[in-house]
Structures are given as C-alpha cells and as structure tokens.
C-alpha cells in the first residue's frame, strides 16, 4: 500500500478537483500538443473499449487537453486503415469498415438475435427512454423477459430513469456498447431518425377509447396457450 503513494501527494489530490486552477498550471507546464496527441493515440490504441475524455485527461499529465488532442488525432487518422471514432462521450480506435473483408480471422461470432430482440432493441433505441409497457404497445405483444434480459446481458440496453407516471415504471435506454457495436456517435445518428420523427411515428399516441391493450400480459412468454377460446364469443 505504502508504495502506491506518489511523491506529490497534495498535488495528486488536487489535480482532480482543481483541474484548471491557474496556480498549478504555472507550476507544471502541459506537454506540447503534439505530445498530447501521441498520448491520446497510445491510450486509445491500447484500449479495446472507448475511453472518455475525462479518463484521458485523468491519465494524461496535468494540464493536458485531451479534447483538443483528439481533434488533431482524429484528423490524422482520416482515411487510414484505422480510424478514431466517437462513441457517445467516449473515443475509440476502430479499423475502417471497408477493410472488414480482411478480418475474417478476427470476426466475432455474434450471437444470433431473435426477431423479437432486434425489434425490441430498435424500439428502445428510437424511443428511449421507454417503458416495457410502451414497447409492448408498439409491438402489439408482450415482451418476454428473456428478450429484455438478453439485451441487458449484452449490455446493449440498460435501465434508465423511472418514469414520472403512476407506478413509476422503469425505462430502458441504449448504452455506449450499443453505439460502439453499430458505429454510432450517438443516438441522434440512428438511421432514419429524423424522417421517423417528422412522420410522427416516434410520438406516443394514446389509443382512442376502447382499443384492446395489446400485450399487457406483462410476464412470461407471449405464447401462454391456455385455451381461452371460451372467452371469445364471435
């Protein structure tokens, strides 16, 4: 434990809080921008997962401006075989998609998603934050527990804030892993989002009067095939 202690105790402690206190800036000069760019390059290169600007800054010497270095770095890698991409509020290096054909060896056998899972994922991505009931309303069928679990497990979705409606239902939102998976900078870049919004297809429209509430059987599989035909008299 004791060997973890850095020499500049006080300094280290302050670095976090007082990231831009002028007093310290004068004490420790930040490395030149070219050097900062190299540092960002090394960190992003070494990491399989996207790294936030905040983390970059915390790992780089005091006074560095990762955000600016990233701008330079991104430009430097334009058109290269590897690119610097933004994923949510984090950054990563990824091979250029047009070279995917070279990578059969690295190809990851992706888990085949069920149609229900794919649809549910898309609905969450385009409507987030969205409750399970709202997903069911759109799909017209109850969402099986397994579908949501699978998406949660893959870390493509996560729980969002509870909705301020009766019962305070939990919502789902997509994650950074999702953005990374589909090469999206953020959810605003979802394909066709603008058109869908313009067409009014992303607004929640309450059903007029007596529509049957579809898929309100909220647990278990949709195919609860208890012969309930006697309920039906037409």
Partner 1 sequence: MSEDDTESFHEDKVAARLAAEALIVDVDGFEGPLDLLLTLSRTQKVDLRKISILHLAQQYLAFVEKAKQLRIELAADYLVMAAWLAFLKSRLLLPPDPSEEGPSGEELAAHLAFQLERLQAMRDAAARLMARDRLGRDFFARGVPEDVMRVRKITYTATLLDLMQGYARLRTRDEFRPFVMDRESVFTMEEALERMRGLIGYAGDWTDILSYLPTGWESDPKKRRSATASTFAASLELAKEGKVEIRQSESFAPIELRKKDQDHV
DSSP alpha helices (H): ranges in 141-232?
Answer: 145-153, 176-181, 193-198
Q: Among all chains, which residue has been given the structure tokens 């898929």?
A: 215
Question: Among residues 113 and 193, whose Cβ is nearest to a copy of itself?
Answer: 113
Report angle CA 94, 97, 100 to the nearest 5 degrees: 100
69, exposed or middle or buried, with CB in 10 Å at 0-12, 13-18, 19+? buried
Q: Which stretch binds a copy of itself (CB under 8 A): 54-62, 161-169, 193-201, 207-215?
A: 54-62
Alpha-carbon distance of 178 to 153, in angstroms, equals 12
Q: Does position 223 bind a copy of itself by CB under 8 A?
A: no
* Per-residue mark of binding to a copy of itself, 18-47 (x: CB under 8 A): -------------------xxxxxxx-xxx
Q: Does 54 bind a copy of itself (CB under 8 A)?
A: no
Crossing angle (nearest 10°) for helices 132-139 and 115-127: 120
Count, residues in the chain: 234
Quick note: the x/- pattern for a copy of itself over 140-179, rule CB under 8 A, is ------x--xx--xxx---------------------x--
CA atoms within 13 A on the CB side of 227: 1
191 binds, among a copy of itself, partner 1, none (CB under 5 to 8 A by kind): partner 1
Q: Using the rule CB under 8 A, is 87 a contact of a copy of itself? A: no
Is 131 a binder of a copy of itself (CB under 8 A)?
Answer: no
Residues in contact with a copy of itself by the rule CB under 8 A = 1-3, 5-13, 16, 37-43, 45-48, 55, 58-60, 79-82, 93, 95-96, 99-106, 108, 110, 113, 115, 118, 146, 149-150, 153-155, 177, 180-181
């Amino acid at each position: 434990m004791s060997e973890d202690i850095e020499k500049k105790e006080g300094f280290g402690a302050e670095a976090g809080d007082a990231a831009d206190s002028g007093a310290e800036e004068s004490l420790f000069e930040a490395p030149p921008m070219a050097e900062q760019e190299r540092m960002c390059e090394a960190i992003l290169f070494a990491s399989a997962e996207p790294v936030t600007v905040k983390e970059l800054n915390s790992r780089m010497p005091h006074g560095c401006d990762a955000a600016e270095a990233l701008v330079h770095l991104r430009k430097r890698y334009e058109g290269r075989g590897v690119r610097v991409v933004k994923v949510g509020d984090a950054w990563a290096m990824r091979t250029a998609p047009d070279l995917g054909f070279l990578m059969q060896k690295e190809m990851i056998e992706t888990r085949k998603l069920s149609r229900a899972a794919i649809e549910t994922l898309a609905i969450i991505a385009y409507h987030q934050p969205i409750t399970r009931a709202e997903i069911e309303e759109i799909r017209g069928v109850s969402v099986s527990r397994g579908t949501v679990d699978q998406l949660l497990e893959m870390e493509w979705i996560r729980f969002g804030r509870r909705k301020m409606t009766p019962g305070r239902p939990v919502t789902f939102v997509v994650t950074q892993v999702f953005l990374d998976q589909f090469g999206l900078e953020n959810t605003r870049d979802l394909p066709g989002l603008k058109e869908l919004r313009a067409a009014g297809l992303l607004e929640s429209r309450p059903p007029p009067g007596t529509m049957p509430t579809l898929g309100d059987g909220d647990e278990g599989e949709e195919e609860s095939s208890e012969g309930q035909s006697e309920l039906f008299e037409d």
